[in-house]
Amino acid sequence: MSIRLRLTLLYSTILVFTLVVFSVTTYITVSRILLDFQQNALAEEATQILAQGVFTLTVIETPRGRIAVPETYVQVRTLDGEVAGKSPNLGSFTLPLSDEGLQRLRSGEAKAWTEAVSTGDGRLLVYSKPFQFPGQSAGILQVARSLAEQDRALGALKWALTVGAGLATIAAFGIGWGLAGLSLRPINRITQTAQEIGARRDFSRRVQYSGPSDEIGSLATTFNTMLTELQAAYRQVEQSLQAQQRFVADASHELRTPLTTIRGNVALLRRDPPISEEDRVAVLQDVAEEIERMIRLVNGLLLLARTDAGLPLRTEPVPVRPLVDEVCRQALVLADGRALSWDDQTSTAVLADRDALKQVLLILLDNAIKYTPEGGQITVTSAPHDGQVAISVHDTGVGIDPAALPHIFERFYRGDSSRSGQNTGLGLAIAKSLIEAQKGTITVQSELGRGSVFTVVLPRASLPPGSE
């Protein structure tokens, strides 16, 4: 059963219950009041009759004849219950008195006795009261009036209440059904939108809601917020899936090149008649270099895959001077004709993973050496930077073309200057991943033909005194 029908049935049932209670209470109250009124009138009449000793009827002349108002019937019984006399309007009819009434009146237990009795013409209200005229034997005076008028009025009231309650229930059901539909329409729209999104995977859809910000309004808002987040997450997943696919395609391509070279060289080595000794040495040298390049590539890919998966880095205060010192001394071996100097005055520390930072600095120094011709100058400096610490590697090398600058941190990107040789195009991508995993940044400034500056910025850390 739908919520709409359930809600409508619920408040229709409540309304029916309320109307029934109201109608029954009204009916009982009105019939009681009318009966009390008649009873009081009869008691009054009986008192008058007993006071005057006579029974008078108010008679009105009407065009149709004389009518007594109200039509009151009078009868006198002996204390034994025998009818002693009655008013002419009773004809052959005798006003009844129940045994219980007679008993109570006779014993004096009740001062008066009223009972409603049914006759062929409708109900009669009979009021009986004992009397004692001086010098006469005691008797029971009975005064009665027809309740037909009152019963007719009550019948009309019952009809009005029943029909009114029925009509009110039908109207309330109809209005309730409409209102429930109106209130639940946004929920239907949410359901419809959710179904459409599920079918078409269109997360740009939103629920159109312009009503008040009640429970349903906040449901619509929450649903739309959830859709916005879902859309962003879906886009992110899509992008990262595309990036992964690109990465796998690029990696396969990069691995195929050295493998193809190695296969060609192996074919040369197996040639019959064999190649000259001089060529053989050159071919073997080539194979060894390609294998070396493949190892570097695979190591780089592995590292990138691990940083992508959230490489667990252990950040701690790392003193800058000893680290720069160590890295530069290591790089000196490769410098080969380039001057390498570093600033060994700084005494700051950064919050970083020591091994990861060392690897980044080695990548930057390796590049600086690779892209700086002999006789060039390479300098490593460190300085405070906006409350953090900046470590820069300057070179006076070939510099980077402004068009290439936005791409140099991309995976497998290699500038013209490094198309050939052992370069993998992964160095700066790895450096960027490692630095970002340490909540740092890496930037570059370069001028073609004049040199480049790569700057790593990391959070500053305070060192316990004497710990360097």
Contacts with ligand ADP, residue ranges (CB under 6 A): 367-368, 371, 395, 397-400, 408, 413-415, 417-418, 423-429, 452
Nearer to ligand ADP, 146 or 423 (CB): 423
C-alpha–C-alpha distance, residues 445 and 100, integer Å: 120
Question: What backbone torsions phi and psi does residue 444 show, to the nearest 5 degrees?
Answer: -140, 145
C-alpha–C-alpha distance, residues 14 and 7, integer Å: 11
> In angstroms, what is the minimal distance from the CB of 370 to ligand ADP?
6
Nearer to ligand ADP, 162 or 445 (CB): 445
> In angstroms, what is the minimal distance from the CB of 440 to ligand ADP?
17
> In angstroms, what is the minimal distance from the CB of 411 to ligand ADP?
8
Q: Which amino acid is at 352?
A: A
- Residue appearing with tokens 């850390």: 461
Query: How would DSSP label each residue in 152-176?
Result: HHHHHHHHHHHHHHHHHHHHHHHHH
> In angstroms, what is the minimal distance from the CB of 378 to ligand ADP?
9
Spell out the residues 6+ positions from residue 407 whose beta carbon is closer than 8 angstroms to its own: 413
**Exposed / middle / buried, residue 39 (Cβ in 10 Å: 0-12, 13-18, 19+):** middle
> In angstroms, what is the minimal distance from the CB of 305 to ligand ADP?
16
> In angstroms, what is the minimal distance from the CB of 356 to ligand ADP?
16
Contact call for residues 139 and 84 (beta carbons, < 8 A): yes
Nearer to ligand ADP, 86 or 414 (CB): 414
Nearer to ligand ADP, 176 or 451 (CB): 451
Nearer to ligand ADP, 146 or 424 (CB): 424
Q: Which amino acid is at 439?
A: K
Nearer to ligand ADP, 397 or 440 (CB): 397
Nearer to ligand ADP, 186 or 451 (CB): 451
Which residue's CB atom is positioned nearest to ligand ADP?
A: 415
C-alpha–C-alpha distance, residues 195 and 201, integer Å: 9
> In angstroms, what is the minimal distance from the CB of 424 to ligand ADP?
5
> In angstroms, what is the minimal distance from the CB of 360 to ligand ADP?
11
Alpha helices in 87-201 (DSSP H): 99-107, 148-200
CA distances to 156, 211, 357 from 151, rounded to whole Å, are: 8, 53, 104
Q: Which amino acid is at 32?
A: R
Nearer to ligand ADP, 103 or 418 (CB): 418
Question: What backbone torsions phi and psi does residue 420 show, to the nearest 5 degrees?
Answer: -95, 175
> Does residue 442 sit in helix, strand or coil?
strand
Nearer to ligand ADP, 418 or 441 (CB): 418
Judging by DSSP bridges, how do beta strands 339-342 and 377-385 pair with one another? Answer: parallel
Q: What is the CB neighbour count within 10 angstroms for residue 459?
A: 16
> In angstroms, what is the minimal distance from the CB of 395 to ligand ADP?
5
